[in-house]
Every structure is written in structure tokens, then in C-alpha cells.
Amino acid sequence: MPNHLTIEDILRLIAWPLLGASVGAVVTFFYNRRLAGVKVAIDLHSEFHSESFLKTRIAADNILTKLKDGSNQIRLSRIYSQCCPTQWESVSRIIHFFERLAVMRAEGLVHRNTCDHLLGHYVNYFHKTYFAYLVEEPEWNPIVTTLKTLADVTTPHNNGMLRMLRYIVRAVRIVRREWQASKEITT
């Protein structure tokens, strides 16, 4: 029996460790990517709930509510022209936060489920209350489009809540049926 290695033996000795290292690298990459996305979602949530941003949200809410037209339309050009710089800064911070959130979601830089769970209801609130009423204007169109489409991608959070409520209702019905069945057996 010869004691020398064939080319097939050498390839096997090289291929299996390379395959293992490659699989390990891919798993590590996706795991770290997910962790980074979760961290970004948590950082965005922390920023959104910071004291300074809370003051900004309250100020922007007051400004946007006051400047809605009678037809419930919001024109960013009108807000920009009728607000003092500090008021516009509040509105602008809100707009840019949600714009940044939309870009991060589109680019896969934030973990979608975590983001939807932590910020989805806030996105939906701002969308239903303000962004849905934004009027498209030539110079503001990209921002308006981004803000209007953001709520469309965060609705799974609400669907998850509805799904959970359906499970609860279903569980209550099952318990009620079993209770009624046990009641009929005893009578």
C-alpha cells in the first residue's frame, strides 16, 4: 500500500475545511448583520423617546395641527413660509427622522420586525394624522412620497397585533365551548 497522497486526497483535505470556514463565515455575517440591525432599531427608538425629541414631537404636532387647511391638506411650503425657524426646526426634525427611517428600512440597515414593533404605531400615527394629508408640491415631492409610503411598510406590526387579538378571541371561544360542554355533562 503506497504512502503518498493523491490529488483527490489533497483536494478533500483542503475542500472540507474551506467549506466549513465558508459556512461559518456566512452564518457569522448574517448573525452580526441581524444584531447590527436590531441595535439600529433600538437606537432609533431611544432617539425617538429622548427628552429633546419628545419636545420636538409635541411642538411639531401643535404646528402641523394649526396649519392644516380646512380641507385637511398640509403643504410643507406653507409650513416653511409661515413658521419661525425654531418651529420649522421641529417639523423638519420629525420629517427627517421618518425619512431616515424609511431609507434605513429600504436599504436593510435596520431589523424590520424590531423596527416595526418599536416604531410602527408611531409611524402609523404620524401617517394617519399628518403624512396622509401632505400635498405633493414640486420642490417637496421626494419627501412627501417617502413619508406617504413609509406607513405602507410598517403595517405588519398592526397585522401582528390583529393576529394576536384573533388568537386571544379564538382561545376565549375555545374555553367558553369547553366550559359549556363541561356544564352540559354535569347537568
Per-residue H/E/C for the chain? CCCCCCHHHHHHHHHHHHHHHHHHHHHHHHHHHHHHHHHHHHHHHHHHCCHHHHHHHHHHHHHHHHCCCCCCCECHHHHHHHCCHHHHHHHHHHHHHHHHHHHHHHCCCCCHHHHHHHHHHHHHHHHHHCHHHECCCHHHHHHHHHHHHHHHHCHHHHHHHHHHHHHHHHHHHHHHHHHHHHHHHHC
**Are residue 88 and residue 168 in the same domain, yes or no?**
no
Looking at the fold, whether 128 and 163 belong to one and the same domain comes out as: no
Residue among 103, 113, 186 at smallest CA distance from 154: 113
Place of cell 483535505: 13
Could you tell me if residue 12 is inside a domain?
no
Residues 145 and 161 in one domain: no
Q: Say yes or no: 64 and 42 in one domain.
A: yes
Same domain? 77 vs 164: no
Question: Does some domain include residue 187?
Answer: yes
Same-domain pairing of 137 and 65: yes
pLDDT for the residue 54 = 94
Supply 49's cell numbers: 423617546
Per-residue tens of pLDDT for the chain, all 187 residues: 457 778 787 777 787 788 788 888 888 887 777 888 889 989 999 999 999 999 999 999 888 888 776 667 787 888 888 888 888 899 889 988 988 888 888 888 888 888 888 888 888 888 888 887 777 777 777 777 777 776 665 554 445 555 555 555 565 666 666 667 776 766 6
> Cα separation of 22 and 185, whole Å?
62
In a domain, 47, yes or no: yes
d(CA 15, CA 160): 44
Number of domains in the chain: 2
Same domain? 83 vs 69: yes
Give the range of the structural domain holding residue 84, as residue numbers without chain letter.
Answer: 24-153
Residues 70, 32, single domain; the answer is yes
Which tens digit of pLDDT belongs to each residue from 60-113?
Answer: 988 888 877 666 778 788 888 888 888 889 988 998 898 888 888 888 888 888
pLDDT at 93: 92
Residues 51 and 104 in one domain: yes
pLDDT of residue 32: 78
Mean confidence (pLDDT) of the chain: 78
Query: What does each C-alpha distance from 72 to 69, 131, 134 come to in angstroms?
Result: 5, 11, 9
What is the pLDDT, as a whole number, of residue 49? 92
Do the Cβ atoms of 54 and 60 come closer than 8 Å? no
Q: Which three cell numbers stand for residue 154?
A: 410598517
Verify that 97 and 41 share a domain, yes or no.
Answer: yes
In a domain, 8, yes or no: no
Instruction: Find residue 74's DSSP bridge partners.
Output: 134
